[in-house]
Structure 1
Amino acid sequence: MSEAVRETQRKPRREFRNIHVTELMNYRQPFSAIVSIMHRISGFLLFIALPFVLYLLQESIRSELSFAHFQGIASHPFAKLVILALVWGYMHHFCAGVRHLVMDTHIGLDKDSARKSSVAVLVVTWVVVILVALKLFGVF
């Protein structure tokens, strides 16, 4: 076969190039990647907040007066938003961690199952966060 015939039979190769910072908004991440990135962010948030949460727990159980002071702080709207962010961090990290543990047992590794489980993690996390938000802000 001549060289000209071989070149016409080849499929054109895809061109892979680096994504520039200005093109990041046009790039669509799959749900699995979003869950993975958010899992890392939520873990970092929980790690950074752990000393502060332990200090608040210590102060809340020290005495009745310190508990009343803690209740006053926790009733502020900004504090409620911080609590809600911590609830999101915990719930997302927990649900994504369970997903990763299940995937470590070689269940749900195919593309469709991984996408469904990542969507389930997002849905369960946000349903729980919305319920906690409704309770925190007095709707329930």
Structure 2
Amino acid sequence: MSETASKRRPQYRNLTVPQLLIYLNRMPLAAKTSILHRASGALLFLCLPLVIVPLFGRSVESPETFAGLAAWVSHPLFKLVLLAIIWGYLHHFCAGIRYLMLDLHVGNDKHSAQKSAGTVLVVSLALTVILGLKLFGVW
């Protein structure tokens, strides 16, 4: 019997959170950006019928419902929900542009892909911080 046939391969069942974090830390930046792109897409998909459309519908009913909604949206906890939706949109938008460029075979080499993944993260987080400061009334 050969040496490779007798060697048992590890089986990964019932992964724990610390093990998942170890795997996440080993991933390249492009893989982390891809996972966040999927997560932000899922966030937007779930928030569209549950948050975004109902808020828009209430805001255009009448001036009274708009005023009531404006008072409700001014709560800090709801602002955090809006900030998460803003991050989801901005990250999904920036990563989508990156993937369109990759589909056009621009930046497919390893170095360029890592650089564009880092750029997506920096730009989406910077825009989120700017819009978050505006949302919370810093200026």
Query: Which category describes the TM-score, using the shorter chain as reference length?
Result: 0.7 to 0.9
Alignment of 1:66 with 2:62, yes or no, is no
Rounded Cα–Cα distance in structure 2 between residues aligned with 1:113 and 1:119: 10
Q: 1:26 Cα shift? A: 2.6
With normalisation by structure 2, the TM-score equals: 0.84
Q: 1:35 Cα shift? A: 0.5
Counting matched residue pairs gives 126
Provide the residue aligned with 2:21 in structure 1: 25
Please tell me the residue identity of whatever aligns with 2:20: L
Matched residue SS, 1:139: coil
Which runs of no fewer than 5 residues in structure 1 stay unpaired?
1-15
Alignment of 1:39 with 2:37, yes or no, is yes
Please tell me the residue identity of whatever aligns with 2:21: M
Which runs of no fewer than 5 residues in structure 2 stay unpaired?
1-8
Matched residue SS, 1:62: coil
Q: Spell out the pairing of 1:98-117 with structure 2 (5 A cutoff).
A: 98-117=97-116
Rounded Cα–Cα distance in structure 2 between residues aligned with 1:121 and 1:104: 16
Which whole-Å deviations, capped at 9, do the CAs of 1:37-84 have from their partners, x for residues lacking one? 000000000000101211110110111001001101110001100000
Runs of 4+ displaced beyond 4 Å: 16-20
Q: 1:101 Cα shift? A: 0.3
Rounded Cα–Cα distance in structure 2 between residues aligned with 1:123 and 1:82: 21
Rounded Cα–Cα distance in structure 1 between residues aligned with 2:101 and 2:10: 34
With normalisation by structure 1, the TM-score equals: 0.84
Aligned alpha-carbon RMSD (Å) = 1.7
Provide the residue aligned with 2:46 in structure 1: 48
